[in-house]
Structure 1
Amino acid sequence: MHTEHGDAADRTVGEVDLTRWRSRAGRSVAGAWTALGKRFGAMPVLLLTLAVGLGVAVLATWIASEVYDAVREADDVAVLDRPVLDWALTLRSPTADTLVTWWTDIAGTIGMPIVALGFLVGFTIQRRAWTPLVLLVAASGGSLLMTIAGKDLIGRARPPLSDAVPPYETSPSFPSGHTLNSTVIVGTIVYLLLLRQSRVVTRVWTIVVGTLFVLSVGASRVFLGHHWLTDVLAAWALGLAWLALVITAHRLYLTALHHGAEPAPDVDRITS
């Protein structure tokens, strides 16, 4: 058995052992998944958990669309959206518009993959394992699927172009893709960083920086008039839900690994 696997050091965050489950339900699921891991290997169990989690996440997206429709029919959405956008209009200036556009592009379809790829290369080299690749690809793929599903299910119009800063966007507004994807991808990166950080202050700063980035991306979407506030709020909620499922899947993988399941081949074995 490959006892010194690249994932072996990922069991704890500080003093918290991720392979210990406090709730009875958690212990039951972990026990079942460990049994599957011993039979089929830890990595197939991780992939199965992510697939199940993705189904749950898509279902959550559908539920969010139903809730949004109910709220929209009651005209409760406008109570938040229009006043916040009007306030954002008062904050604009040519310099602010340029800076915020540059910042929001970091979380766009070009910027976010570059950020994810950079961290992914670093994680793979550091850990000598493929788990970071699996987690980041699953996390980003799931968030993209949730974004597409939400936009197709609801088809909400964006704020008027007269209230937006160019370049304009024409896809449906709900949920905010920039916000949802940055929440999930940056959240996964933060989680992977925390697994190898021994100092409390380093972990705190990692969480603070990641949180501020995600919050600022969401705020930038409203500031630029590319999304309504409720698009961003829903994206944060959906992103955090999917992130929690990804982390839970990884914890189940670590638990199965800790209790003797066969790990996936590490980087050295694949590339040698």
Structure 2
Amino acid sequence: MSALRGFSHCNYTAFPMNIKNPSLRLLIAALLVALTALVYLSATRQGVLSLFDETLLDISANDRNTTAAQTVTWFTNIGTTAFTAPIATVLVLWLSWKLQQWWPIAITIVAATCSVLTTTLVKEWLGRPRPEHVFAVAPFEYAPSFPSGHTLNAVVVFGIIAMLYASRRAYIAAGIYIVLMGASRIWLGHHWFSDVLAGWLLGIAWLLVLSVIFAKPLHTIRAARHAR
């Protein structure tokens, strides 16, 4: 039984590494970017998503109490660079030290850079206003709203770290964190639902692209992880 458990763990793969064809990964990434554009159009031109945005914002505003707001604000602050960078650094440095490889550091730096640049450039390009402050929890935010940077960065940074660790536990932990981070942005009234949806879609697109660019190093890291 222990041998079977070891075999299963050693051969564990998850998205996007279980999509074997690199061209298919890139095609899916392109489709996700196109879908993000449709999300923006639907949300800003009185489409179906604009109704979702307004409905979820109203529900969130009516569902808050002081204790919950403080707790969720504490959690969402983890998504800022001041908290995310040290956490990611510790996780990646430990893995690099254990494997005696520099690839985890390089891959994470590239992933984080792509995520931050995408967030900054798209926000400034589209300039979508955030929900009105009367619906939000202080402290208020003033940068453009689309896409949610907390969400996109969570997907890319902790998604790539999960791929580097290549374990079921890492993927589950990253998945829970990514979903809760996006939900916290909506519940606090700092983002529309469509902003968060865009963050998830663009984040997954980047993971697909990065998995193709760094296919060989990721395979080497995974093999080294499970050889121990």
Which TM-score band applies after superposition, normalised by the shorter structure?
A: 0.7 to 0.9
Q: Which one has more relative contact order, counting CA pairs under 8 Å at least 6 apart?
A: 1
Equivalent position of 2:49 in the other structure: 77
Q: Would the alpha carbon gap of residues 101 and 192 (structure 1) be closer, same or farther in structure 2, given more than 3 Å must change?
A: same
For the pair 1:86 / 2:58, whether they are aligned, the reply is yes
Aligned match of 1:3: none
Q: 2:109 aligns with which of 100, 122, 137?
A: 137
Matched residue type, 1:155:
G
- 2:131 counterpart of 1:167: no
Q: How does 1:1-272 map to 2 (within 5 A)?
A: 14-15=10-11, 26=22, 64-65=36-37, 68-69=40-41, 72-194=44-166, 203-253=167-217
- Measured after TM superposition, the shift of residue 121 of structure 1 is 1.6
State whether residues 96 and 102 of structure 2, in contact with CA within 8 Å, keep that contact through their aligned partners in structure 1.
yes
Deviations 1:54-105 (Å, cap 9, x if unpaired)? xx97997587346523552243332110111111122211110111010011
CA contact (8 A) 2:112 2:157 kept: yes
Report the alpha carbon displacement of residue 118 of structure 1 after superposing the two structures with TM. 0.9
For residues 58 and 131 of structure 1, what CA distance do their matches in structure 2 show?
26
Cα distance change on mapping 1:67 and 1:73 into 2, 3 Å: same
Give the deviation of 1:130 after TM superposition.
Answer: 1.1
Instruction: Quote the Cα distance in structure 2 between the aligned partners of 1:239 and 1:69.
Output: 19
The whole-number CA distance in structure 2 between the counterparts of 1:22 and 1:146 is 24
Aligned to 1:189, the other structure's residue is in SS state helix
Deviations 1:219-250 (A, max 9, x none): 00011100000100110010011012212222
Q: List alignment gaps of at least 5 residues for structure 1.
A: 1-12, 30-52, 195-202, 258-272
Instruction: Give the 3-state SS of the residue equivalent to 1:233 in structure 2.
Output: helix
Q: Distance in 2 between matches of 1:61 and 1:21?
A: 20
The answer to whether the 8 Å contact 2:33/2:205 transfers is no
The normalised TM-score by structure 2 is 0.80
User: Structure 1 residues 167, 256: CA separation in 2 closer, same or farther (over 3 Å shift)?
Assistant: closer
The structure that has the greater radius of gyration is 1
Letter in 2 for 1:214: I
Taking only the aligned residue pairs, the percentage that are identical comes to 32
Q: Would the aligned equivalents of 1:58 and 1:149 in 2 still touch at CA under 8 Å?
A: no
CA distance in 2, matches of 1:131, 1:139: 12
RMSD of aligned alpha carbons: 3.1
Query: Number of paired residues?
Result: 209
Report the 3-state secondary structure (helix = DSSP H, G, I; strand = E; otherwise coil) of the residue aligned with 1:170. coil
Letter in 2 for 1:132: P
Unpaired runs of 5+ residues, structure 2, are 1-8, 222-228
CA contact (8 A) 2:130 2:145 kept: yes
